[in-house]
């Protein structure tokens, strides 16, 4: 029998600073071997959340979208490395496996990872971010960083699956 996903958090995040703070809040419960999947449209705040998570973990290097390099490993000052993956350009889950990531010893955050990480771990935190107003990215020009959308509310739903998160609280 497959365990049912459990909603740990369903909230509205009003600003980019608050999105970073939510990343820090997630960092407080993460440990080596954890897999976090981020889902949301361009400009939703996936990378902003990961920056906050990285800052709280003491990640070295700039945490930015790894769209073109696909994955970046950020050593942390104390604890497991943060591996930040962007699956947007991948066409098949096998390509994610080809990246040869250290899933067991790192905290792995995968943007656009839904459908690409199935079977990698029996415990997953799924973070879905949606714009409350639906505005924002429409105002971006072609050269803009999609995570630099002006502040607007976002709905964030964090769902936990698997034994690692059976008793978790956020």
168 domain-assigned: no
pLDDT (0 to 100) of residue 68 = 59
pLDDT value of position 90: 76
pLDDT at 140: 46
In Å, how far are 54, 110, 143, 150, 152 from 25, measured between CA atoms? 11, 17, 31, 22, 20
In a domain, residue 107? The reply is yes
Residue 118 lies in a domain: yes
Give domain status of residue 45, yes or no.
yes
Tell if the pTM clears 0.75, that is, is over it: yes
| pLDDT the model gives residue 124 | 94
Q: Is 71 within the bounds of a domain?
A: yes
Residue 66 has a pLDDT of 65
User: Which residues of the chain are under the pLDDT cut of 50?
Assistant: 1, 136-143, 146
pLDDT at position 22 is 97
The pLDDT, as a whole number, for residue 159 is 96
Between CA 143 and CA 75 the distance in angstroms is: 29
What is the structure's pLDDT at 142?
45
Q: Which residue stretches of the chain are H helix?
A: 16-27, 46-57, 93-97
If one counts the domains in the chain, the total is 1
Question: Is 1 part of any domain?
Answer: no
Question: What does the pLDDT look like over 43-71, one tens digit per residue?
Answer: 899 999 999 999 999 998 888 776 656 78
Q: Residue 91 belongs to a domain with what CATH number?
A: 3.40.50.300
Residue span of the structural domain in which 48 resides: 6-162
Residue 43 inside a domain? The answer is yes
Contact criterion met (CB below 8 Å) for 18 and 44: no
Q: Is residue 141 part of a domain?
A: yes
Name 34's Cβ contacts closer than 8 Å, sequence gap at least 6: 107, 108, 123, 125, 164
Q: What is the pLDDT of residue 141?
A: 46
């Amino acid at each position: 029998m497959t365990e049912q996903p459990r909603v740990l958090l369903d909230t509205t995040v009003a600003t980019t600073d608050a999105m970073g703070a939510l990343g820090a809040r997630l960092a407080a419960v993460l440990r080596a071997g954890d897999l976090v999947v981020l889902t949301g449209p361009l400009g939703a705040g996936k990378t902003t959340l990961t920056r906050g998570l990285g800052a709280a973990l003491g990640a070295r290097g700039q945490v930015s979208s790894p769209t073109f390099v696909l994955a970046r490993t950020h050593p942390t000052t104390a604890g497991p490395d943060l591996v930040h993956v962007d699956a947007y350009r991948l066409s098949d889950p096998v390509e994610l496996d080809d990246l040869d990531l250290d899933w067991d010893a790192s905290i792995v955050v995968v943007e656009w990872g839904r459908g690409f990480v199935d079977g990698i771990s029996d415990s997953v935190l799924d973070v879905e971010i949606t714009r409350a107003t639906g505005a924002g990215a429409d105002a971006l020009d072609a050269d803009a960083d999609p995570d630099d959308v002006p502040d607007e509310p976002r709905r964030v739903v964090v769902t936990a699956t698997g034994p690692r998160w059976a008793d978790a609280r956020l």
